[in-house]
Amino acid sequence: MTVRRISLLNNDVVQMPSGLNALQTSFRGKNSFSHIQRLHNMLYAYGATVIEIVRRKEFCTWYLFNGTSFS
């Protein structure tokens, strides 16, 4: 049983260089970090959402306070 396990581990070790080479090649591409760019853009979307929430809350407060003068 131990020899079989050593053999399986050896197969995994032998397959590692090809996987690492593929990963290294993908990092050298122009779009290798596109997921980081999406996260960077997500920050602006979050900020815009927070600003819109505050704007709507302020408008609601203003409307409730000044709503009686409209009718």
Q: Is 47 exposed, middle or buried (0-12, 13-18, 19+ CB in 10 A)?
A: exposed
**Are 26 and 49 found together in one domain?**
no
Tell me how many domains the chain contains: 2
pLDDT of 71 reads 59
Q: Which two tokens stand for residue 66?
A: 């000044």
**Are 15 and 40 found together in one domain?**
no
**Are 21 and 55 found together in one domain?**
no
**pTM for this prediction:** 0.45
Q: Is the pLDDT of residue 35 over 70?
A: yes
**Are 38 and 25 found together in one domain?**
no
**Are 21 and 37 found together in one domain?**
no
Lowest mean pLDDT among 7-11, 18-22, 37-41, 51-55: 37-41
**Are 60 and 47 found together in one domain?**
yes
Cα dihedral 51, 52, 55, 57 sign: negative
Q: Is the pLDDT of residue 32 over 70?
A: no
pLDDT of 25 reads 82
pLDDT of 36 reads 75
Domain encompassing residue 25? 1-32
